Amino acid sequence: MSPTLQRLTAVLPAGRVLVQPESLAAYESDGLTAFRTRPLAVAFPETPDEVIALVRFCHAERLPFVARGSGTSLSGGSLPVADGIVIALNRLNRILRLDPAQRIAVVEPGVINLDVTLAAAPHGLHFAPDPSSQSICTIGGNVAFNSGGAHCLKYGMTSNHVLGIKAVLATGEVVEWGGASRENIGPDWCGLFNGHEGLFGIALEITVQLLPRAECFHTVLAGYRTLEQAGDAVSAVIASGLLPGAIEIMDALALEAAVAAVHAEYPAGAAAVLIVELEGPREVVAADRARLDAIIAASQPIEARPARDAEERAAIWKGRKSAFSAVGRLSPDFLVQDGVVPRRRLGEALRRIGEMARESGLRCANVFHAGDGNLHPLILFDGRESGALVRAEALAGRILKMCVEMGGSITGEHGIGVEKRDYLPTMFTPDEIDCMSRIRAAFDPLGIANPGKMFPTAEAPALQQHGLHPLEKAGLISRE
Give the start-to-end residue ranges of the domains of the chain.
3-88, 95-212, 216-325, 331-423
Architecture of domain 216-325: 2-Layer Sandwich (3.30)
What is the Cα–Cα distance from 68 to 18, expressed in whole angstroms?
A: 14
Architecture of domain 331-423: 2-Layer Sandwich (3.30)
Domain 95-212 annotated CATH 3.30.465.10: yes
Domains 216-325 and 331-423 share a fold: yes
311-354 tens-digit pLDDT:
999 989 888 888 777 887 888 888 888 999 998 888 889 889 99
To 10 degrees, the CA torsion angle through 413, 418, 423, 425? Answer: 100
pLDDT at 91: 98
175-231 tens-digit pLDDT:
999 999 888 888 999 999 999 999 999 999 999 999 999 999 999 999 999 988 998
- CB-based contact 294:228 (threshold 8 Å): no
What is the number of H-type helices and E-type strands within the chain? 17, 18
Domain 3-88 annotated CATH 3.30.43.10: yes
- The residues of the chain scoring below 50 in pLDDT are 458-480
pTM of the prediction?
A: 0.89
- CB-based contact 138:357 (threshold 8 Å): no
DSSP string, 123-147: GTEE---B-TTTTT-BHHHHHHHT-
149 Cβ contact partners less than 8 Å away, ≥ 6 residues apart: 129, 130, 131, 132, 134, 369, 413
